Structure 1
Amino acid sequence: MSKFSKPSNTTNEYESQRLNKLRRYDIIDSPPELLFDLIAEIAKTTFKAGGSFISFIDDTQVYFKANTSRIQDWVIGKEDSLCAVASQSAEITLIQDTETHAEVKNNAYVKMDNGIRFYAAAPIVTMEGYVIGTISIIDNKPRYDIEQDQLMVLKWLARITLEKLESRLINRISVRAYDDRLHRLAHDMKNPATSLIAYGQLLDKSLLSQEKLASLGKKIEQTGRNIEQTMNNLLNEAKNENAAIDLKFETIKVMNLINTAAATFDSTLKEKHQTLKISCQTDGYIQVDQERINDVFNNLLSNAIKYSHEGAQIEIICSEESNNIVFEFKDDGLGMTKEDISKLFTKFAKLSSVPTAKERSNGIGLYIVKTLVQLHGGKVWASSAGKNLGSSFFISLPKQESLPITD
């Protein structure tokens, strides 16, 4: 069970990255959603408890995405939250009687009339190891009847909550892309539509000569062809899902990208007793959208961790080749068959291997990697000697020849 410590508001590197991950889910201040409410109800029923919460921890406040308790607050200060205390550990927190624990007995919600006397919480932990919230149970009386099976259900519900967050994120990215196309279509169609209305008004007046009617007919035909071309362009873009993603390029040092990825997965590597070896033969720069390439690196390093056994060594190798910088993410894990390799980078691909610690895998990560790398003018590929013989994933990105000159 968890050891307790008061939450700190100190913004360190971990906290900064944790908050970035949380905010990408866009869950804070979002309206109620049925699945989250059902998860909270299942937790409450499993424990036969007085209430349950799904909570997400921002920098200074805690937000309840679901709340089945008699406590009417949906946002509370981080300093008042038992959830923020529980989030200090990646293990389940169990407080059978809050009045016997010095760490929480002076909490405002414990001291209130008919306050919290029992508390249990499972952390919601991202693949990168960031605790972004908890699913928790409360009661107004001490509880010494809790069994391990109930706590395991609470842990599973936290995993299901994370799965829902991930699926929401993927759906939002997809919807945003289509929204962008719709907005551009509306913008591109506005002028020709206005022109057609004006032409129709001229025809309605029946005051045009035969020569002007012929000229107007040609204009109407050309406007129609322009609309047709706009629609064809839209359909072609829809086939290429990359087209709606807007990139913001900046010049970044190669080692900074690698170090960011390494720091992101430090706790995950420790959890599986794995080591990360970095071998970089360049101190060069590349021009990329840093957030997007961070996503690429995180996905490839995450896969290497997931498909490697405990105690394994993982390598990130980078080198210069012609005008490109090549990154290799190498592991000695489960490896791939030729059939697996043929299906890589396709949406919802199902491979023969499963993560060694039953980590999540939704089959879309490598598809997104390919999309983002190609948008940067790069290439992505993979190799493996076969099952249980490890894998290497490569990305090649154009090298920035020199730093931009600034005034």
Structure 2
Amino acid sequence: MPNSKSTLKTSQANTTSSEAEILALRKEIEQLRLEKAAAFDRLNVQEAIHKNFGESQSRFEAIFYQSVLGQKIIAPDLRIMQVNESLQQMMGYSKAELVGTRITEFAHPDFVRDWQALQKKLWEEQIPSFQIETCLLKKDGTSFWCQVTSILFQDQDATLGFTIVENIDKRKLLELKLKKLYDNQETIMHMVAHDLKSPLNNIMLAARLLKETLEEPETKKQEKDEQIFSYVNLISETSDSALHLISELLLIGEIESRYATLEQTDLKDYIQFHLNSLRVDAERKGISLLFHHSGKPVFAAIDRSKFRWVLENLLSNAVKFSQENGQISLTLKEEGDKKVLQVQDNGIGIPAELHATVFQKFTKARRQGTKGEPTTGLGLYIVKQIIEEHKGRVWIESQADAGTSVFIELP
């Protein structure tokens, strides 16, 4: 028989080994429980994150798509990745027409550099946000002023620009009105300080000399009569000059304060009608006034009141700078969808070095007429303002001593 003591020891050793194994198993089970709890915690955190992300995404989409402001997301190459309904309505394009294109494709040609500056500031210099005031083109070809604010944000591995577009046409219109008011004040001060001061001084001088002459005793009647006539003539001429200045000043004020009311008008009949009342000055200098046209109606949208000022200024200039017995011709024609009016004279012309300034206010190109007629330097400036208000353009072709042609192109 085995020794009882030996068997007891063996049993105790086995018991101790089993207890150790059980303890190890318990530790392993506890570790697994802790890991399981941690896994559940991580899962709950991930679910919370996913839930929060989903809620944030929903809030973002609600703000993005329902905002009354135009909004878009752009890539570093200025490619449009997403747009909201407000921006589509603002620009007149559908989502399909905008997404995938570059915003520079819709920039007014004069303002493409604004977007290049925004691109540089955000993605090269890494400025968190950047703002510009720029001009965008609508699908119908018109343009509008907008304030653009773009903010950088991370989307996975890409850095994109969340961009808000606000139409600021009304504010820009107010700024333009304020500028025009300032320009008008500047014009008034300029004319009072320079152009009106001289004729008024001449009138005062002539009136004083006339008074002194009339007070002289009756000796040399013929000589006295000649002096009186010369003083009266000076008063008459300088008064005409002052009145012309005041008229053009008032004209500028009216042009810039009243919006153009455009009406479809047959330019052929319109010009023919007004030429009859504009021939007087030409006839005084023996200048023939010709009107060339195809005989067919040529329709354009014009403000009939303002466009008369265009005709008056162009013909007045042509008569003023033409020699006696010269010729002025008006030519009306259609070139595609454009209507072109050319006013041509064979007068003294304009030197090439003055061409760049002829449409400026108080241009340095102004000169006296061929018979000493005064000029304010405002005629072509007024013409340009009116034609641009009609969305047209005006330019000249001229050489010294070879006459001048003024071209007007209307849509």
TM-score normalised by the chain length of structure 1: 0.46
Which has the larger share of helix? Answer: 2
**Bigger relative contact order, structure 1 or 2 (CA pairs below 8 A, ≥6 apart):** 1
Q: Quick check: which has more Rg, 1 or 2?
A: 2
